Chains A and B, each alone.
Chain A
């Protein structure tokens, strides 16, 4: 086997993939056309090339026929490139002398209506792969270190759970949270469905556990700014926003807030009620330390006050704190940044933001919560009257193709049960109240969910199949809803005291930026894309970065916790490796040709190229560990000084030429 001989000896294997490929593409014809190509020593078709038999056929040919290049026409390399590279390695070949032609995802599956054309395309793809394979060179992998630490981004129930699973495995974990306290949306809920457990009663023990776990370090009031490196060896820059309170000294006594003269709408209570400029979001906050809201603090905005500093007996108020950026090294990252409730004011027909007695489901949680603005008394915001007739409107911002107003085409999964719970709680507190739920479909798939829905009907909650067109305000603040009742065929035109909009779950604020910083893909719905919709639900397209909770897709608390456990397990598996082998896919820079123009440096999305001063002038240098092999530098180099390993210009040109040849 000589990879360097003048005429390579190539083997081509065309896969049927059962009927996935063979049902559309004439596999035998593709095989025969490959056989006729220059340098192809053997061409075969297999029912399943990835099977043991298929692999053995390749191994036998490598040995018996002295192959030095292997071309496989089958599925996407994302699925089996690793398998086939393994076959080459076992036979003593360099694994990078393999080329794959994707004749399934990019051919048979998308051209199922036209067999003849699909067959021609498959032939062209194989021809093109053979042309490239001819020019492949052997490469060697480099090894990277593994930092046995994990960063969890987002301190809601998913992030908290992931951090606890990891911490309890003995893995050093950083839990990064944007807000002054961990807890996320779950901390804002009054009760949880279908058990009606008090939400904070079950969450706060977990939060305390986080605080006490010696392996977990909470980085609250902090955001991920930049991520470099790769699986096993990430360097994450975290902006630690100035809290102006020393977390270690603050005991949460509240003397500061009592004296603070600035009142601000309380976002934890959905702006119903007020907090001070120095505040703690809720009593069970972790870390249990106050924070100063710099935007509203009188001293920080107007230069005088410092009352909090004077009253703090422990000297915990530190006005000279500034934002600082810390670099944290970790081997894996779990992204758990949750969701954002749909902005109901984007649906003007329902009047949210205009009619005071139209609220969202999250507003309702705060109103019904003992710790909320009404101390758990059900009162409508408009006039603090107790509403006797309440309507819930489902699917506000869900199952909605508009998109331009931020609505999602998907079902948000949790709103039916949230409404069932809230309607039940209304009935529990006020059995004589009348509760109507306007729904599109009631979706109650989950353990104990259907039973809960049934219980709600038994309580006399009226479920109306029909989405109201609009909510109109009447004199006295009541609200009129006209809807079809699809089940009776009647039009219902009814008046209510309060309307609750069951808002959908949308991707969290700043996810576009975060995805860019982490180089993660998002799916059409805007959430982060998992590694595989069925088989890799915790992973992403980037090795070493994993997902937990609603940032991947709307889900309820048990599902978020389950995914957090899975993400923790895969992150721990990564951290338990001794070293990580990295594919050699970066640029090779010919310093004789490099003119130091800095174009590559500017374009590199990963900061993996730096132009340095040398004794021969400015020259680009590749930073191998940061490089992801995207090829932007190679494509942009005006001096043609950059060659991408495994994707050299001559390889790509040959591949393209072969593709365009008329067969």
Chain B
């Protein structure tokens, strides 16, 4: 079900909500406690990301998830911004385990075909090189100088892992 949200400047009017969304999150590993959130906001108040970007608000993300605003939550950038510092996780009085909830939401977003471009780029780098950066000749020369073995610049095994785990089809947008 699509949350039929229409933005009129700052006024967001929601007419359809997906009541199943909260139960789905609660079934996802890490999302079990989301429904207990009572919106105290201690997560947002201590969040280092929120300090840098006030648009990032974990309390509001959880609120929108509980209300059933599936598309807005899964398609947005916000769930990807969590730095997984676990500050909110430690402080949450209802043990909502927000960091884990964010992971659960990321997994659900990926399955729904939403992958943040930064993560897609990372996944592609790893697929191509086996690591987050390309090992070039200069690096291997330097390594040889100090007696270290050369590193491969590509990693075909990773692609195999992507295939086995299904990550390749997720990246190609075919869904899980």
Contacts and interface: CB of A to CB of B under 8 A. Distances in A.
B22 interface: yes
Contacts of B36: 454, 457-458
Given A485-B67, A487-B59, A460 B14 contact: no
Interface in A455-482: 457-460, 462-465
B35 A490 contact: no
A488 B63 CA distance: 6
B17 A494 contact: yes
A491 interface: yes
Contact of A492 (B17, B23, B35, B94): B17
Given A458-B36, A462-B66, A488 B60 contact: yes
B23 A460 contact: yes
Nearest to A493: B15
B12 A460 contact: no
A607 to B, nearest CB: 57
A61 interface: no
Given A460-B23, A487-B59, A488-B64, A465 B39 contact: yes
A491 B8 CA distance: 11
B5 interface: yes
Contacts of B12: 489-491
B22 A460 contact: yes
Kindly name the residue among A460, A487, A492 whose own CB sees the greatest number of chain B CB atoms within 10 A: A487
B35 A493 contact: no
A460 to B, nearest CB: 6
B176 to A, nearest CB: 25
Contacts of A225: none
A186 B45 CA distance: 44
Nearest to A454: B36
Interface residues of B, number: 23
A434 interface: yes
A490 B94 contact: no
B38 interface: yes
Residue of A442, A487, A490 with highest tally of chain B CB at under 10 A: A490
Contacts of B5: 490
B15 A494 contact: yes
Identify whether the interface residues of B are mostly helix, strand, loop, or mixed: mixed
> Among the interface residues B11, B38, B94, which one has the most CB atoms of the partner chain A within 10 A?
B38
B13 interface: yes
B75 to A, nearest CB: 16
A454 B93 CA distance: 12
Interface in B1-22: 5, 11-15, 17, 19, 22
Nearest to B66: A462
A454 B95 CA distance: 11
Interface string A435-465: 0000000100000000000100111101111
Nearest to B3: A490
A492 B59 CA distance: 18
Contact of B60 (A457, A462, A464, A487): A487
A491 B4 CA distance: 12
Contacts of B14: 485, 490-494
Contacts of B39: 465, 487
Contacts of A485: 14, 63, 67
A460 B63 contact: no
B124 to A, nearest CB: 34
Interface string A475-518: 00000000001011111111000000000000000000000000
B35 A458 contact: yes
Given A462-B67, A465-B39, A491 B94 contact: no
Interface in A212-247: none
Contacts of A457: 35-38
A487 B14 CA distance: 14
Nearest to A486: B39
Contacts of A490: 5, 12-14, 64, 67, 69
Interface string A350-394: 000000000000000000000000000000000000000000000
A442 B15 CA distance: 24
A490 B63 CA distance: 10
A493 B12 CA distance: 10
Nearest to B68: A462
Contacts of A487: 39, 59-60, 63
A494 B60 CA distance: 20
Given A434-B19, A454-B94, A460-B22, A491 B35 contact: no
Nearest to A491: B13
A508 B43 CA distance: 45
Contacts of B19: 434, 460, 462
A469 to B, nearest CB: 14
Highest count of chain B CB atoms <10 Å: which of A459, A488, A494: A488
Interface of B: 5, 11-15, 17, 19, 22-23, 35-39, 59-60, 63-64, 66-67, 69, 94
19 contacts: A454-B36, A460-B19, A460-B23, A462-B66, A465-B39, A485-B14, A485-B67, A487-B60, A487-B63, A488-B67, A488-B69, A490-B13, A490-B14, A490-B67, A490-B69, A491-B11, A491-B14, A492-B67, A493-B14
Closest 6 CB pairs of A and B: A487-B63, A490-B12, A488-B63, A491-B13, A487-B39, A434-B19
